Structure 1
Amino acid sequence: MKLLSWNIQWGRGMDGRVDLARILRTIRSLGDFDLICLQEVAVNFPGLPGSRGEDQIAELSAGLPGYTGIYGAATDVPDGRGGRSQFGNALFSRLPVGQVWRHPLPWPAEPGMPSMQRVLVEAVVTAGFGPLRVLTTHLEYYSQRQRQIQIDAIRRLHVEACVMSARLPLAEEQGGAFEVFPRPAEALLCGDMNFPASAPERLQFLAPFAGGEPGFRDAWEVLHPNEAHAPTVGIHPVGFVDQPECFDFVFVTEGLSNRLKAHDIDAATEASDHQPVWVELA
Structure 2
Amino acid sequence: MRVVSWNIHWGCGKDGRIRIHAIIDVLRKLNPDIICLQEVAANHPELEGSATANQFKQLAGAFGGFHAIEHAPSEIYRNNVPRLFGNLILSKYRITQAQRHMLPWPVDPEGAPGMPRGAIEVVLDTPGARLRLVTTHLEYHSPLQRMAQIRRLRELHAEASARARIFAAHPEMDAPYQLGERPASAIYCGDFNMAPGDAAYQALLAPHAEGAPLLLDAWAARHPGHARAPTAGLHGYPWPEKPDCYDYFFVTEDLARRVASVEVQSETAASDHQPVVLELVPGA
Instruction: Bin the TM-score by the shorter chain.
Output: over 0.9
Distance 2:170 2:247 in 1: 42
**Could you say which residue in structure 2 is the equivalent of 1:128?**
127
* Alignment-mate amino acid for residue 278 of structure 1: V
RMSD value, Cα? 1.3
Q: Match for 2:207: what amino acid?
A: P
Q: Structure 2: which amino acid aligns with 1:239? A: P
The 1:214/1:50 distance shift into structure 2, 3 A limit, reads: same
Cα distance in 2 for residues equivalent to 1:60 and 1:100: 19
Structure 2 CA distance for partners of 1:171 and 1:222, relative to 1, 3 Å: closer
1:216 and 1:167 map into 2 onto residues whose CA distance is 21
TM-score (norm 1): 0.96
One-letter code of the match for 1:177? P
DSSP-derived class of the 1:44 partner: strand
Aligned residue number for residue 90 of structure 2: 92
Structure 1 gaps, min length 5: none
Determine helix, strand or coil for the equivalent of 1:164: helix
Gap change, CA 1:52 and 1:247, over 3 Å in 2: closer
In structure 1, the residue corresponding to 2:53 is in which secondary structure? coil
Q: 1:185 to 1:136 in 2, by over 3 A?
A: same
What is the CA distance between 1:228 and its match in structure 2?
Answer: 1.7
Q: Is 1:22 the counterpart of 2:3 in the alignment?
A: no
TM-aligned CA deviation for residue 170 of structure 1: 5.9
Aligned equivalents of 1:276, 1:173: Cα separation in 2: 45
In 2, the alpha carbon distance for the partners of 1:236 and 1:173 equals: 58
CA contact (8 A) 1:174 1:180 kept: no
Could you say which residue in structure 2 is the equivalent of 1:6? 6
Deviation at 1:134, TM superposition (A): 0.5
**Matched length:** 280
Displacement of 1:280 in angstroms is 0.3
Q: Which residue number corresponds to residue 146 of structure 2? A: 147
Q: Corresponding residue for 1:103?
A: 101
Query: Normalising by structure 2, what TM-score?
Result: 0.95
2:172 and 2:247 mapped to 1: Cα distance? 38
Q: Is contact 1:7-1:274 (8 Å) kept?
A: yes
Letter aligned with residue 63 of structure 2: L
C-alpha separation in 2, matches of 1:250 and 1:238: 23
Confirm or deny: 8 A CA contact 1:169 1:180 kept in the other structure: no
Distance change in 2, residues 1:168/1:125 (3 Å): closer
CA contact (8 A) 1:173 1:180 kept: no
> How much has 1:240 moved relative to structure 2?
3.4
Structure 2 unaligned spans of 5+: none
